[in-house]
Amino acid sequence: GIWFHDDDERTQVSNLLTNIVADLAKKDPPSAPSTPAAAPPPVDAGAAASALISSMTLDPNSTSSKSTPTGSGPTTPSRKSQQQPHQQQQQTLDKKSLQLALLSLVQDDRFLDLIHAQYVKVAHAREQKQKQGGKGP
């Protein structure tokens, strides 16, 4: 699993992943299979990564995927996802699609840059806090 030293950081990543799953559920509604044992349609890893990266801004009001995250607090789910809980409950994301989407994210340099930038930001903020307080964690 992934270990987070800061609960706020864990909450922020959890909110981002929740938004990603919600966006995937909205963009790719599951079609009714013709037979119960029908295989899921193949997933284009590049398209999945692009769709996931586009929704990974720290500012829910931001529309540009190239903007630098400047938010200081954890993000909250967008208003659309709060207003449509019934639709989200009906749509499901199968385990294999989620696995492929997450694997494609790990291989995407833009996603890694985003995660690394957030890590550096948090580490720098902790360092500044320790210098100001003069005490360790």
pLDDT in tens, 8-54: 888 888 888 888 888 888 876 556 555 555 555 565 666 666 565 55
What is the dihedral sign for C-alpha 28, 31, 37, 41? negative
Name the token pair of 17: 């992943």
Pick the closest to residue 6 from 101, 130, 124, 122 (CA basis). Answer: 122
**Is residue 136 over pLDDT 70?**
no
0.85 exceeded by the pTM?
no
Q: Which residues have C-beta within 8 Å of that of residue 120, sequence separation ≥ 6? A: none
Q: List the structure tokens of 87.
A: 């639709």
Most confident residue range from 37-51, 55-69, 70-84: 37-51
- At residue 125 the predicted structure's pLDDT band, cuts being 50, 70 and 90, is very high
The pLDDT tens digits of the residues spanning 89-104 come to 555 778 888 888 888 8
104-114 average pLDDT score: 89
What are the CA-CA distances from residue 11 to residues 4, 5, 17, 73, 102 (Å)? 9, 11, 10, 10, 18
